[in-house]
Every structure is written in structure tokens, then in C-alpha cells.
Structure 1
Amino acid sequence: MEFHPCFAILNRAFLYMAIRIPNLSKLASIEVSSFFKKTPPKTQGERKVGLNIGHGAITACEVSFGAQHQLILEQCARKEIVKDKPIASQLKDFLHESKFQSKQVNMSLKGHGVVVRFLSFPKMNRSDFASSIQFEAEKYLPFSLSEVVLDYQIIEDIAVPPKTDLNTMKVILVAARKTEIDKLVNLAQEIGFKLNVIDVDVFAYVNAFEHSNPEVKNQSVALIDFGAGDTTLAVVDKGALVFSRDIAFGGDDLTEMIHRKLNVPVEEALKIQLDQNLSQPEHKIAVEEGLSRLFQELRSSLNFYYNQNQTATPVETIYVSGGLSQLGVLLELLEKQIETPIKKWDPTSQFTLGEKVSRETLDPLTPYLPVCIGLAIRSK
């Protein structure tokens, strides 16, 4: 097991930690980061590419640091992944076509190769906890400790009802499999880019949200990213990530359910799914039935969060992104089901647009950009 205690900025709204892996030769210059590292590039003109390899598409953004702490969005691109074609060759073609200037890339982990756990421990001083977590961690992980890089962050001290003293502390525990880290390192080398930072999808996502929505830093909000292969739910309370879950249902699953329900080709099912009006009753019924499972999972996840955190501040607003967030019927039904206001958000709202980026070409991409934006604004 590689183990690295973390450090945090005192302001809870800007928690972060970063771990290095000095004992793996391939990773000697790679920073594997975890929570909420906010610092953007500091050198004027410095550029970074945030590269997100999703279930169905590759998305990337190039960001530079301008004068007066200005963040400039220099380039954005997205391309569907072709099944049964090596991802490295697809990435080479994509990056060549997109003409990114920087060769510095930040990437992230998601799925079975990384585990995020939100835990509570008896309050103790940080040095004692750093020693004990090495022995406690294995019971919370599906991997052997020898297989992973492990890190943690103490996110707050909380009072456990009915006690009034602060006797418990919340901890986020993260374990990333070394084999998954190796895959990213090898992939970056194969496509001719220098891998600067390895992050975790949900942390990059939250980083992008907080950068784009500074007005909600003192609120409790939920974030939902509707991906092609899955849906990510995260709860952020006063700037700290306090809960996350990946739900195994995405846009591809909805398309498949419509395809089966209506007995139409997959291409036709996708068109029905994207129809904002759903004027034919049978189409609306098929879409609503397809979404019902997802809504049930989202409700159950939020209820679990509240049951596990009985002093938690109720979520005030749910912010959505991803392909399915473009479905008007989904947002309308979700708001009714969860009884919480739903809003879309734009991860590029706080950026100055570079010469190669226009609002006209950018707007259709914005639902898909949060993770790569969150990666691109990271520095070591």
C-alpha cells in the first residue's frame, strides 16, 4: 500500500489534498490528487488540457491563465467513441483534429478502479488518526491495500445527537488501484502528452461547479451528472463534498428501454428520447417509464444521505448537467419527484473565451464539460 497523509487549506470551502507516488518509477512526476484542489495555473500564459474519457465520448478543454487572474477557455472539443477501436488511436485523432496547443494533460479516474468512502470516526488528533487509518482502511475497501494508493481528508468535526460535544469526525477515504493509474500514465505516453495530474471524476466535477457558481458556497446543494453509462449524484455542503454515488443508469440505458418498449430501432429510440415535445402519448409513456428507475435510485440515494447524516442541512437546489439534462420532461418530472428546485448550470460561465471559442459553438457542449473543466483548472 502507498499511503500519503494530506493537507488542507483552513477554509472548509476550499478543502483539498494531494498525494505523490514516489516509489513507482512511471509515476515519479505525476501528482495523484483528491479533494478540491482549487489552485489554477499561476504562470501567465500557462495552459493545461483537461481530458475526460467517458463511457460514450471523449471531451477535452484547454485553459490558460491570463492577466489579473483571468482564466481563458482556449479550446473545447467532443467526439463520440467508436466501439471496437483502440482508445489510444481515437485519442490521437481527436487531439490532432482539435489542435490543442498544450501538451500538458490532466486526467481522472472513475468506476471500479477507484473507491470513495464517506466515514465517521471517534475524534482524535490528526497524527493518531494518520497512524490508525493505515490499519482501519482495509475493512472499507474491496481491494488489498497492497494494490492501491490510499489517501484521506478529514472534512469536518460533527456533533452526534443527542450529545452536544464534538466527538466525531467525518473523513473521506479514497483508494485508487495502481493498475488503473498505470493505465492512464501509459495512455498519456502513447498519445504523446505529459500527464500532469490524476484526479477523481467527482472531485473534478465539484471543482468546476464551485468555480462557476461562487454564489452558492454557503449553501447545501446536490449535483447530478447524467452520463451515457451512469449517473453521478454528489452533495456539497458549504463547499465540502459530503456524499457521492454513481448510479448504474445513463442515457444509453434509457435509449435501450425505449427501443424495447416501442419495438423501434435504436436510432429511432434515440430520436424519441431527444424529442423535447414528446407529442405522441406512447413516446411520453416510454420515456417516463424508462426514467422511473433512475428517479427511484436518486430518491433512495438522497434518503440514505439524510439518514446517515441526521444533522445535515437539507439540499436547497439540485444542479444538473450531462446529456439527459437537456430533456425538458426529465427536469419537470425530477422536480416533482424529489420536490426540490432543479437548475441547469454552465461550467464555462466564469471564463473569458479565447479566439478559437465562440458562444455559438460552445453552448451545445456545455452540458458535457464539467469534468474536463474541473481538470483543466487544476495545477500541481
Structure 2
Amino acid sequence: MAKTRVVGLDIGTSAVRAAEVEFGSGGPGASRATLHRFAEIALPAGAVRDGEVVETSTVAGALKQLWQKGGFSTKKVHIGVGNQRVIVRDLELPWMPLAAIRKTLPFQAQELLPVAVDSTLLDFYPTSESVSETGRVAQGLFVAAVRETVTQNVLACESAGLTPEVVDLNAFALTRSLVQGDLMRRTVAIVEIGARITTIVIVVDGKPRLVRHLAQGGDNATDGVAAALKTTQVEAERLKREIGIGHGYNPELAPAADSISHVSTTLVEAIRGTLGYFTQSNPQTPVETLVLTGGAVMLPGLGQFVASATRLPVTLGSPLQHMEVARSAGDARSVDSRIALPVGLAYGVAS
């Protein structure tokens, strides 16, 4: 039986992460996938900014270290993009084959984009179809990524000797890795809180219906603690996790606690606003549960705070509960909150 191995590569703000996943002959969905390898390497501040590679040589060097550390069996990778320079909009078009729809996108984009069409890469993700008074129509998500954002990430990979075979939207990758089992039949909000970017994906019956990127993440709280206590980023990160949200703390740390609370409240209000917008537009499919993932979600008390603010049940996303984990993957289960994106990018072999 032929098997396929795919490496999903997440180029994040604070680290690069890769996951090597093996699929059976039928690909994702036909059999239980196996995680064979996972590794991550920290990045210095500023090497990646707002989801886009800024220092190509620095990131390329980290990717070389990542491949040496992880022992991945291939240098072919699936990479993701996802920041505020990636635009995702609802779009309804007369039905036609997907290849034909994609050819029409430059004409559709002229009315949907605030930037020049020739500076973007365009795609369409079909979610449903129906019959209207004018005939058969296709509904889906129109995706436009500023070309430079994609190009810089691809260049960093190529400089490290890697070959990007697929460039995917991070939101779609998160959907594949986290919305499985019972969640495939529900309306779910995935919230991935990274270092500087928070991605929100609302998924109905396994299909993403809304995508939002917020320019805020866990490092914003770290910055606030560092400024409040006039300390280093490393110490501020440690203190942030010690203080958390809604926990007791030394009175001397009150300015830091206030900063964490302010940043967290601002972020959660933006999340709640996105959920409210979706519910108002789709009253027949209200969000039933919220799945948290990303490196910043381990802040003590954050899950309870989000649950209280949104009045939704909140769970931590766990892509590995639907997978086999080989011994060669080491302690991958201990980094569940950081592995969802690279695993989902690997699942893109099905797209």
C-alpha cells in the first residue's frame, strides 16, 4: 500500500515549526494519519514581522537548524500565510468548474480589493452551492494575498534549500487539523493566538465560512509587562505566565497585571466582536463552541476569561487526538497548542 509523507512548515513570528505527517494510500480522511517528526527553532525578535519574513538570511539559517534538529525525510514543504495583508471575503458566483472560477478572479478582484490586482495572488475556496432565480450558483471564500508576503516566505525557504510545493492559507490549515470528529457537524470558532497575530476561523459543518486576522497576540502582553516593570523581554515573558489572568499576585506586580488585563481585554473584545458579526449575519448557525490554539493560549486563566466573555464552551485544540504519534516524533504531545498549524499544512495534500 503506497504511503505519502508531507512536511507542513509554519514560519511564525517567534519560531519556525515543522511537522512530518504520513498518510495512507487514500490520503487524508481515508485512514488515520501518523505524525513522524516535529521540531521547532526560536527566531530572534524582528526576523519575522506581522507574519512576513523580514530578515531572509536569519530565517533561512533557522530553517537549516530546524531540518538538522528534526531529521525530516524530505525538503519539500507546504507553507502557510496569514496576516492582515491576506484578504478573505465571501463571494457568490454563477456556478462553473473551479478551474474556470479561478480564471475569473482577477475581474472579480477589481471591486473587492483596496490594492492593485497585479500585486496579489488570488484563490477561491468553495463552501457550498445552490440554485437561485438566475440559475446554479457557487458560494465560497475569495482569498487575496499581497504577492510580496508570499514571495518573502518562499524566498526564505529556498535560501535554506527547501522547496515549497504548496502555499496555503493558515486558516484553512487550522480547520483541517482541528475540526474533526464531532466538530465536523457543528459551528465552531477556532481562535489561534500567536505571538503577534490572532487568526479567527468560523467553521460550519467542516467548511470555513469566515476568516479574520487580528494584529495582536501574546507578545503584546509581554511588551506591556516589560514596559510596566522596566525589565527584559525574557523576564517579562516569565512574569506574564506567573501572573496570568484572574490569579493572585504579589502587589509589586500590579502594574504588570494591569497591563496583561488591558491587552487581554482588548483582544477578547475583538474576538467577541467577530463572533457577534457572524451570528448577526448567520442567525441560523450560531457558534456553538470555541477552540483555542496557538503558543499564547497557555497563559493561565486565558481560557476561562474567553469563555466568560463569549459565553461559549471553550476547549484547547488538540490535533494529535485524531492521529497516531510515532516514537520518532518525541514529545510532540507536550506542544499540542503549537503543532496545529504545521500539521494542518501537511494535511493540505488533500487540496
Which bin holds the TM-score, normalised by the shorter protein?
0.7 to 0.9
Q: Retained in 2: the 8 A contact 1:272–1:278?
A: no
Q: What per-residue deviation string (whole Å, max 9, x for no partner) do you get for residues 112-144 of structure 1?
A: 55322124x4x74437x9486543321211332
Task: Tell me the distance in 1 between the aligned counterparts of 2:241 and 2:274.
Answer: 26
Choose the corresponding residue for 1:100, options 72, 77, 85.
72
Classify 1:138/1:196 alpha carbon distance in 2 versus 1 (closer, same or farther; 3 Å): same
Task: Tell me the distance in 1 between the aligned counterparts of 2:228 and 2:156.
Answer: 39
1:222 is matched with which residue? Answer: 189
Q: Retained in 1: the 8 A contact 2:15–2:42?
A: yes
Mapping of 1:345-356 within 5 angstroms? 345-356=317-328
Choose the corresponding residue for 1:203, options 172, 186, 196.
172
For residue 107 of structure 1, report the CA deviation from its aligned partner: 0.8
Q: Retained in 1: the 8 A contact 2:84–2:213?
A: no
Task: Tell me the distance in 1 between the aligned counterparts of 2:318 and 2:326.
Answer: 17
Q: Does 1:140 align with 2:107?
A: no
Q: Retained in 2: the 8 A contact 1:107–1:198?
A: yes
Mapping of 1:295-314 within 5 angstroms? 295-307=268-280, 309-314=281-286
Classify 1:337/1:102 alpha carbon distance in 2 versus 1 (closer, same or farther; 3 Å): same
Q: Does 1:61 align with 2:61?
A: no
1:156 is matched with which residue? Answer: 128
Choose the corresponding residue for 1:82, options 30, 44, 56.
44
For residue 195 of structure 1, report the CA deviation from its aligned partner: 2.1
1:193 is matched with which residue? Answer: 162
2:201 is matched with which residue? Answer: 234
Q: Retained in 2: the 8 A contact 1:222–1:319?
A: yes
1:333 is matched with which residue? Answer: 305
For residue 166 of structure 1, report the CA deviation from its aligned partner: 10
Mapping of 1:14-53 within 5 angstroms? 43-44=2-3, 46-53=4-11
For residue 285 of structure 1, report the CA deviation from its aligned partner: 3.7
Q: What per-residue deviation string (whole Å, max 9, x for no partner) do you get for residues 280-310 of structure 1?
A: 3525444222211111111111222223x14
Task: Tell me the distance in 2 between the aligned counterparts of 1:197 and 1:132.
Answer: 21
Task: Tell me the distance in 2 between the aligned counterparts of 1:329 and 1:259.
Answer: 20
Q: What per-residue deviation string (whole Å, max 9, x for no partner) do you get for residues 233-252 of structure 1?
A: 11001111111111111111
Classify 1:179/1:279 alpha carbon distance in 2 versus 1 (closer, same or farther; 3 Å): closer
Q: What per-residue deviation string (whole Å, max 9, x for no partner) do you get for residues 20-52 of structure 1?
A: xxxxxxxxxxxxxxxxxxxxxx932x3211110
Classify 1:134/1:362 alpha carbon distance in 2 versus 1 (closer, same or farther; 3 Å): closer
Paired AA for residue 246 in structure 1 = H
Q: Retained in 1: the 8 A contact 2:124–2:143?
A: yes
- Secondary structure of the 2:249 match is coil
Q: Retained in 2: the 8 A contact 1:78–1:365?
A: no
Q: Could you tell which deviates more after superposition, 254-263 or 236-245? A: 254-263
Classify 1:285/1:53 alpha carbon distance in 2 versus 1 (closer, same or farther; 3 Å): same
Q: Retained in 1: the 8 A contact 2:84–2:214?
A: no
Classify 1:182/1:232 alpha carbon distance in 2 versus 1 (closer, same or farther; 3 Å): closer
Q: What per-residue deviation string (whole Å, max 9, x for no partner) do you get for residues 54-109 of structure 1?
A: 01111111112358834211111112102466211221122112211222211112
2:342 is matched with which residue? Answer: 372
Q: Retained in 2: the 8 A contact 1:234–1:241?
A: yes
Paired AA for residue 60 in structure 1 = A
- Secondary structure of the 2:209 match is strand
For residue 167 of structure 1, report the CA deviation from its aligned partner: 9.7
Classify 1:243/1:158 alpha carbon distance in 2 versus 1 (closer, same or farther; 3 Å): farther
Task: Tell me the distance in 2 between the aligned counterparts of 1:173 and 1:270.
Answer: 37
Task: Tell me the distance in 2 between the aligned counterparts of 1:138 and 1:151.
Answer: 14
Q: Could you tell which deviates more after superposition, 145-154 or 322-331? A: 145-154
Paired AA for residue 68 in structure 2 = H
1:9 is matched with which residue? Answer: none
Classify 1:48/1:322 alpha carbon distance in 2 versus 1 (closer, same or farther; 3 Å): same
Task: Tell me the distance in 1 between the aligned counterparts of 2:162 and 2:169.
Answer: 19
TM-score (norm 1): 0.77
1:279 is matched with which residue? Answer: 249
Task: Tell me the distance in 1 between the aligned counterparts of 2:88 and 2:147.
Answer: 15
1:266 is matched with which residue? Answer: 233
1:23 is matched with which residue? Answer: none
Q: Retained in 2: the 8 A contact 1:224–1:233?
A: yes
Structure 1 unmatched runs, 5+: 1-41
Q: Could you tell which deviates more after superposition, 274-283 or 345-354? A: 274-283
Q: How many residues align?
A: 328
Paired AA for residue 174 in structure 2 = Y
Paired AA for residue 235 in structure 1 = I
Paired AA for residue 203 in structure 2 = V
